[in-house]
């Protein structure tokens, strides 16, 4: 299965399925002598884990992480850090009814065609549960970035068309939808509860802001910073679009409106505005990186749908189980993690260029 690894110098290789022994990741290229503990990683996993609130799946899984390698006396050694999260609450019986049926919106059909085989237990390798491994790896990247003064803040900026109007970073973790606008958060939650009662799901938009990003990350041609971030973020199963800075809105502006003029700020050169979202020519400018991803309404819904079985016979389907009525709040830490691992990789690539030859 090509594509279980990500990164050039700071790399993840994930493994595991929703209903096997567990999930894990080997993180390589970790800087030596970085302080890291299981608690550091657990903190991020807890933000992603199921069962954390009424707007997420009621499935309750502890997602406890074990560090298997690469850490000695509380510090990284430079060797690969392997992390393991054992599955504890996999109820395979929930899924046996779905063995021969293709769930709409899921990888069931395309996966079977690809491999000639399918692990029908809740998505197997295609399960969103795979992102737990990414969040575990992201926790390490975040620690390293923190030492460099880089911080990544993600939040739900829109649910079902309801848009945050004020962006208060302090507010994000105070509400269960992880929205930086308390008033809009309440409206979002109401909408989600409503959808939940209808056995349906809602989508939304997650925004992320990177502050303190060093100038010069990203490479001028195929590995532009926005290109590698897009690769990273679009690899999260539930995401259907991405934009940087003004994004799609920029297409309706003129060049003279969209260009960010350079200015001197406190003796440093920067831009007056930031329509570009902190990246020019694929290289970070030192301004905040701003991006947004489109989160589709979760495909697993208990509402009856029409589909076919593996023989092509039409069958109604009701996806039983414990679903997320809106996945946005749980996508937030995954988005942050994928940004973190990508930036740390780009930093190491940049260091290889300008280290001092």
Name the minimum Å distance from CB 170 to its own copies: 25
Output the CA angle 202-185-131, nearest 5 degrees: 55
Could you tell me which residues come within 8 angstroms of residue 211 by beta carbon, excluding any fewer than 6 positions away? Answer: 150, 151, 153, 288
DSSP designation for 330: H
* 321 is a contact residue toward its own copies (CB under 8 A): no
Task: Kindly indicate which of the ranges 35-43, 44-52, 169-177, 220-228 contains the residues binding its own copies, using the contact rule CB under 8 A.
Answer: 220-228
Kindly give the pairing relationship between strand 11-16 and strand 22-28. antiparallel
Name the minimum Å distance from CB 289 to its own copies: 12
Name the minimum Å distance from CB 173 to its own copies: 22
DSSP designation for 289: E
Residue in 41, 45, 139, 144 binding its own copies, rule: CB under 8 A: 144
* 97 is a contact residue toward its own copies (CB under 8 A): no
Closest CA to 98 of 107, 89, 87: 107
Residue 174 vs 333, nearer CB to its own copies: 333
CA 351, distance to chain mean position in Å, is 25
Residue in 38, 146, 148, 167 binding its own copies, rule: CB under 8 A: 148
Say how many residues touch its own copies, by CB under 8 A: 159
Task: Tell me the two tokens of residue 290.
Answer: 């701003």
Residue 147 vs 174, nearer CB to its own copies: 147
Task: Tell me the two tokens of residue 125.
Answer: 């390798």
Task: Kindly indicate which of the ranges 52-60, 64-72, 164-172, 176-184 contains the residues binding its own copies, using the contact rule CB under 8 A.
Answer: 64-72
Name the minimum Å distance from CB 160 to its own copies: 6
Output the CA angle 161-337-78, nearest 5 degrees: 175
Task: Tell me the two tokens of residue 143.
Answer: 């620690």
- How far apart are alpha carbons 151 and 351 in whole angstroms? 19
* 98 is a contact residue toward its own copies (CB under 8 A): no
Q: How many Å is the maximal CA-CA distance in the chain?
A: 69
Measure the CA dihedral 84/128/293/50, to 10°.
Answer: -80
CB-CB contact of 291 with 208 (8 Å)? yes
> Segment 271-310, which members bind its own copies (CB under 8 A)?
271-272, 276-277, 279-286, 294-301, 303, 305-308
> Segment 7-46, which members bind its own copies (CB under 8 A)?
8-9, 11-17, 20-24, 26, 28-33
> Segment 251-270, which members bind its own copies (CB under 8 A)?
251-264, 267-269
- How far apart are alpha carbons 141 and 143 in whole angstroms? 5
> Segment 231-250, which members bind its own copies (CB under 8 A)?
231-232, 234-235, 237, 240-248, 250
Residue 44 vs 130, nearer CB to its own copies: 130
Partner residues linked to 270 by β-bridges: 263
Task: Tell me if residue 348 falls in helix, strand or coil.
Answer: helix
**Radius of gyration, CA atoms only, the chain:** 21
Task: Tell me if residue 259 falls in helix, strand or coil.
Answer: coil
Residue in 51, 94, 187, 216 binding its own copies, rule: CB under 8 A: 216
* 5 is a contact residue toward its own copies (CB under 8 A): yes
Task: Kindly indicate which of the ranges 39-47, 53-61, 117-125, 177-185 contains the residues binding its own copies, using the contact rule CB under 8 A.
Answer: 117-125
Task: Kindly indicate which of the ranges 56-64, 65-73, 164-172, 182-190 contains the residues binding its own copies, using the contact rule CB under 8 A.
Answer: 65-73
* 228 is a contact residue toward its own copies (CB under 8 A): yes
CB-CB contact of 138 with 44 (8 Å)? yes
Residue 45 vs 107, nearer CB to its own copies: 107
Residue 231 vs 322, nearer CB to its own copies: 231
Residue 247 vs 321, nearer CB to its own copies: 247
Residue in 36, 98, 107, 136 binding its own copies, rule: CB under 8 A: 107
């Amino acid at each position: 299965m090509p594509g279980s690894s990500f990164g050039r110098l700071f790399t993840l290789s994930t493994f595991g399925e929703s209903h096997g022994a567990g999930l894990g990741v080997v993180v390589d290229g970790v800087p030596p002598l970085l302080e890291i503990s299981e608690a550091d990683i657990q903190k991020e996993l807890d933000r992603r884990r199921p069962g954390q609130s009424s707007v997420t799946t009621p499935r309750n899984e502890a997602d406890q992480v074990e560090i298997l390698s690469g850490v000695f006396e509380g510090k990284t050694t430079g060797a690969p850090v392997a992390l393991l999260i054992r599955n504890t609450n996999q109820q395979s019986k929930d899924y046996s009814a779905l063995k021969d049926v293709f769930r709409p919106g899921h990888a069931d059909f395309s996966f079977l065609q690809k491999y000639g085989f399918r692990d029908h237990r809740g998505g197997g390798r295609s399960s969103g549960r795979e992102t737990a491994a990414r969040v575990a790896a992201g926790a390490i990247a975040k620690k390293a970035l923190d030492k460099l003064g880089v911080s990544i803040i993600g939040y739900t900026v829109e649910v079902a068309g309801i848009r945050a109007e004020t962006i208060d970073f302090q507010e994000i973790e105070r509400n269960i939808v992880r929205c930086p606008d308390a008033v809009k958060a309440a409206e979002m939650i109401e909408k989600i509860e409503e959808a939940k009662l209808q056995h349906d799901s809602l989508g939304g938009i997650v925004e992320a802001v990177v502050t303190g990003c060093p100038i010069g990350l990203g490479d001028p041609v195929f590995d532009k910073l926005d290109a590698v971030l897009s690769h990273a973020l679009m690899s999260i199963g539930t995401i259907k679009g991405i934009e940087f800075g003004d994004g799609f809105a920029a297409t309706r502006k003129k060049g003279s409106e969209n260009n960010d003029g350079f200015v001197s700020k406190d003796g440093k050169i920067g831009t007056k505005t930031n329509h570009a979202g902190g990246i020019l020519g694929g290289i970070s400018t030192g301004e905040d990186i701003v991006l947004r991803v489109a989160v589709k309404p979760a495909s697993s819904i208990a509402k009856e749908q029409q589909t076919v079985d593996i023989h092509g016979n039409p069958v109604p389907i009701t996806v039983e189980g414990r679903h997320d009525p809106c996945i946005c709040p749980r996508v937030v830490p995954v988005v942050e993690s994928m940004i973190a691992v990508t930036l740390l990789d780009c930093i190491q690539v940049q260091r290889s260029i300008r280290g001092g030859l």
